[in-house]
Chains A and B, each alone.
Chain A
Amino acid sequence: MAGKLKWVTDIEKSVLINNFEKRGWTQVTDNDDWNFYWMSVQTIRSCFSVETGFRLSDDQIVNHFPNHYELTRKDLMVKNIKRYRKELEKEGSPLAEKDENGKYLYLDFVPVTFMLPADYNLFVEEFRKNPSSTWIMKPCGKAQGKGIFLINKLSQIKKWSRDSKTSSFVSQSSKEAYVISLYIDNPLLIGGKKFDLRLYVLVTTYRPLKCYMYKLGFCRFCTVKYTPSTSELDNMFVHLTNVAIQKHGDDYNHVHGGKWTVSNLRLYLESTRGREVTDKLFDEIHWIVVQSLKAVAPVMNNDKHCFECYGYDIIIDDKLKPWLIEVNASPSLTSSTANDRILKYNLINDTLNIAVPNGEIPDGKWNKVPPKEALGSYEILFDEEAAQSDGSDRDMRNRGGQTAGPKGRTRESGRSAPTTWK
């Protein structure tokens, strides 16, 4: 072992620093030689910008892929998924099969989305097909619920587009680009409340794809009763589940922070809806995570010195269909409650155990196959290499079942999506 690993971070969060110190690593500044850098997304952008021409050396590792935004920017994610679907269709892949209404059977997991202002005409066409629908506007480059609003009339969007055109200076910048998505107005409610799922997914390499699902995800509940009524469109507490938003509500509870563990969700669904549909739901959630990663894999700069822990936001509708809403490159490491702190500390701990085996200085020969005992609360979600080395389709089906569902239960559950994971 050649000395202690030297770390830097530009995110002053105790869950990070405690984890680094626990490993006996040495803190340095970003002017020194470093081995491990836990960066904010701003830093990674300047770090890998064309001007700097920066290259990571073999003893260095960072917590982002250089162009992670292909997945984590709302507009690019949708673009990549659309492209992925078209490619599969061209190949004649069974995954791209469509139903009689022209909807993808297995790849329809993102709400209908358009870029604004670029796709304005396409959006209007779609809106006119279903004029009573509600749409949600989100700025492409912002997180934590900032700048989001709902619309249900074309006049509202026209006003918005007029307003942004007059300040043409702003609208030119890509930062102010918006996506508009069909709003899931029939979300699954529990106790009458709306919620979304926050799941953590670790990717250590895109080609071949290796990803892990963190078992301790959680549901984030709105504090205010859900009502699909349009009169409440302005009340963001009803619609948005981001803790950053909900924290400002009067009813925010600082003991549990409106968070419910995924195991609670499972217990509730299995008790009230049955085992088969619950297994199917979780199976589908795993499916859409893997598909979203496969959609961006070809365009991702698969730098071997990178790993990334994503925060997946998923909404479940009242028919128990999961929808991928967005993916965050830097999931919040702020702890809202005591349990939250424990969860996030462990999340970082388990992430580091996989990304930096044994806490040793990386040497460029990282084979990215962690031993079982290093997984912690992660479970392997998809391992392309292992899947390819498995021979027949039948084997792959079993694999898919095993990696997708807990204890391989999903094998019996008759999943709807094709089980050939490739």
Chain B
Amino acid sequence: MQGEEDELSVSIAQIVQRLKGSRLHCQLEREARGSLHRPDIKLETLKEDIKEFLKTSGWEKKLQNAVYRELSLLPGPFQSIAPAEHIKEPLTYMRKAQATWEKRVLKSLNSMCTELNIPLARKRPVDEQRELLSKWNEMGTDEPDLSLFRPVYAPKDFLEVLINLRNPNYDNGESLSFQTRLGLIQVPLKIKDVPELREFFQELNLTTGQLGVDDSTQVPTEMFENEHMRIGKKVLAEDDSAAAQQFVRQGCPTSLRADLWALILNISNQAEDILYYEQFKSNVIQHDLLSDKLIYKDVKLTASNDDYYFVFEDYLYQVLLCFSRDTSVLAHFAYNSASPPKSYIRGKLGLEEFAVVYPPNGVIPFHGFSMYVAPLCFLYNEPSKLYEVFREMYVRYFFRLHSISSHISGILSLCLLFETLLQTHLPQLFYHLREIGAQPLRISFKWMVRAFSGYLATDQLLLLWDRILGYDSLEILAVLAAAVFAFRAVNLMEVTSLAAAEAVLADISTLKVIPLLQIFLFAAIS
């Protein structure tokens, strides 16, 4: 009891500390000061009157939403007093594995530099700056020769690392104990079992109305849609992040999604934010980074060829190039097991005082990275707002999909959850695929790393991401991956090779995700 209270006061202190330097703090102060001239603020009841004023003028809501955001980023209970590296990742061997992986990635990047004889960063000559500025909105028409550049890594390279991961404290030797894992992931992690998943995703049960199911059937359910729309509008009017988060668990009406997501992520897109965005833009104009080429190459390899996203090619360059310059992203490394890669000023290799984070946001893009942004282009046509939403989605969720950690939403846990679900519910299928050398995770890994972006139809993907935001968890990705296997189980039982299994699952763009999830979680399992 005492511990909990301590924990709470530490959390409060931390949040207060974090908000102190924020823009909101300044705004609140300014508003409060300004309110002193109002006739309804009396000196004798100053504190109460100002509180009341902030409440009625909507500022209290903004503060509440800001606190809510901090809470969602705060490490779990009893961790806020832990040492910094434990907040990043409590398990030593995970930290080590992540560090080794980072070294490998950085080495690959450096060797590309050496091979191609180009610097990591350079200032652009004035002519070049002018040219880039003039075609900022049509970078896609530029066709630089990128044949020599290759993505630093692809999801399948990362999967190999995860597969080879072992817990040194958990050696069950060669004995084929009951605990021997039949899947690819060999480390023990705490994941949810089916009853826990049902409890956690309770709003997905078969009797609760869902957008993505109940809007597509006939007349009586149109009532659900209309009612859901009405409530959605009310939630927006209330301007309450927590309420919005609860609401989207049943799916967002298409026309309210952009606003609801922004509310959940506490994004306001005010003049200052647009200014920030413009700063990154001018930074991109001034400096050329090697990582820019990687971004360019990635967009060309993925989104530019995508039936849904090719239209937004130019927005993707803008957002991703600005993202790489955004040092505020570095803050998320406090709770990310990864650490930003460092480079050294020429000739000062290894000297900490000459170290710089590279790229400035500390995130090296990999093959498929741009697909985290692409679906958001359907929601936001204002680049600066699109940017903000993406950044927030990244520092809350997406970074977990390519960092080695024991977090329940981390990619490793998702892999384990996926394999465990499949093994438990479809043991025959799991065994069959394993026998023919088609470990299911080899197929589903890319889906999960990209949060299914580029694999599902966009409307379905957005319904899926509604649930990521709604449950503040990525676990739904593992559940969906397992549900897809379950849905195609009959065909998969007939295949005899990995290639054939991949062919059965090559096109999942026709699937309706919400019924799949519901059936898998709540109906199929006895």
Binding site for B on A (CB under 8 A): 190-193, 221, 223-225, 250-251, 253, 255-256, 258, 260-261, 263-264, 267-268, 270-272, 274-275, 278, 339, 407
Contacts A251-B140, A267-B459, A271-B257 given: A256-B310 contact, CB under 8 Å?
A: yes
What is the total number of residues of chain B having a CB less than 8 Å from a CB of chain A? 29
Give A250 to B310 CA distance when docked, in angstroms: 15
Contacts A267-B378, A272-B379 given: A339-B311 contact, CB under 8 Å?
A: no
Near A by CB (< 8 A), chain B positions 283-330 give: 304-308, 310-315
Which single residue of chain B is at the shortest CB-CB distance from A254?
B305
Give A255 to B305 CA distance when docked, in angstroms: 6
Interface residue from B254, B257, B305, B313 paired with A191 (Cβ < 8 Å): B313
Contacts A191-B314, A193-B311 given: A224-B141 contact, CB under 8 Å?
A: yes
Binding site for A on B (CB under 8 A): 137-138, 140-141, 143, 222, 253-255, 257-258, 304-308, 310-315, 377-381, 458-459
Do residues B257 and A221 form an inter-chain contact, with CB atoms below 8 A?
A: no
Interface residue from B254, B307, B458 paired with A256 (Cβ < 8 Å): B307
Interface residue from B143, B222, B377 paired with A250 (Cβ < 8 Å): B143
Which residues of the other chain, B, contact A339 by a CB distance below 8 angstroms? 307
Give A221 to B310 CA distance when docked, in angstroms: 10
User: From residue A402, how far is it (CB to closest CB) to chain B in Å?
Assistant: 12
Give A275 to B459 CA distance when docked, in angstroms: 15
Do residues B311 and A275 form an inter-chain contact, with CB atoms below 8 A?
A: no
Which residues of the other chain, A, contact B258 by a CB distance below 8 angstroms? 271-272
Do residues B378 and A271 form an inter-chain contact, with CB atoms below 8 A?
A: yes
Give A250 to B305 CA distance when docked, in angstroms: 15
Contacts A267-B378, A271-B255 given: A253-B310 contact, CB under 8 Å?
A: yes
Do residues A191 and B315 form an inter-chain contact, with CB atoms below 8 A?
A: yes
Give A268 to B375 CA distance when docked, in angstroms: 10
Which residues of the other chain, B, contact A250 by a CB distance below 8 angstroms? 143
Contacts A267-B254, A274-B255 given: A191-B138 contact, CB under 8 Å?
A: no
* Chain A interface, DSSP helix/strand/loop, else mixed: mixed
Which single residue of chain B is at the shortest CB-CB distance from A279?
B255
Supply 16 A–B pairs (Cβ within 8 Å), ascending by A: A190-B381, A192-B138, A224-B138, A225-B138, A251-B141, A253-B305, A253-B310, A260-B311, A261-B307, A267-B459, A268-B378, A271-B255, A271-B378, A272-B378, A275-B253, A275-B254
Give A291 to B315 CA distance when docked, in angstroms: 38
Interface residue from B253, B314, B379 paired with A225 (Cβ < 8 Å): B314
Contacts A256-B305, A271-B378 given: A192-B137 contact, CB under 8 Å?
A: yes
Which single residue of chain A is at the shortest CB-CB distance from B380?
A272
* Chain B interface, DSSP helix/strand/loop, else mixed: helix
Give A278 to B378 CA distance when docked, in angstroms: 14
Do residues B314 and A221 form an inter-chain contact, with CB atoms below 8 A?
A: no
Which residues of the other chain, B, contact A256 by a CB distance below 8 angstroms? 305-307, 310
Interface residue from A224, A267, A407 paired with B458 (Cβ < 8 Å): A267
Give A255 to B308 CA distance when docked, in angstroms: 11
Give A158 to B389 CA distance when docked, in angstroms: 53
User: From residue B469, how far is it (CB to closest CB) to chain A in Å?
Assistant: 15
Contacts A191-B313, A267-B458 given: A253-B254 contact, CB under 8 Å?
A: no
Give A224 to B308 CA distance when docked, in angstroms: 18
User: From residue A245, how far is it (CB to closest CB) to chain B in Å?
Assistant: 16
Which single residue of chain A is at the shortest CB-CB distance from B316?
A191
Do residues B141 and A275 form an inter-chain contact, with CB atoms below 8 A?
A: no
Give A265 to B135 CA distance when docked, in angstroms: 26
Give A272 to B378 CA distance when docked, in angstroms: 7
Which residues of the other chain, A, contact B314 by a CB distance below 8 angstroms? 191-192, 225
Which residues of the other chain, A, contact B257 by a CB distance below 8 angstroms? 271
Do residues A264 and B138 form an inter-chain contact, with CB atoms below 8 A?
A: no
Give A190 to B309 CA distance when docked, in angstroms: 11
Give A260 to B378 CA distance when docked, in angstroms: 13
Do residues B378 and A191 form an inter-chain contact, with CB atoms below 8 A?
A: no
User: From residue B374, how far is it (CB to closest CB) to chain A in Å?
Assistant: 11
Which residues of the other chain, B, contact A272 by a CB distance below 8 angstroms? 258, 378-381
Which single residue of chain A is at the shortest CB-CB distance from B457?
A263
Which residues of the other chain, B, contact A261 by a CB distance below 8 angstroms? 307
Which single residue of chain A is at the shortest CB-CB distance from B459?
A267
Give A263 to B308 CA distance when docked, in angstroms: 10
Which residues of the other chain, B, contact A270 by a CB distance below 8 angstroms? 254-255
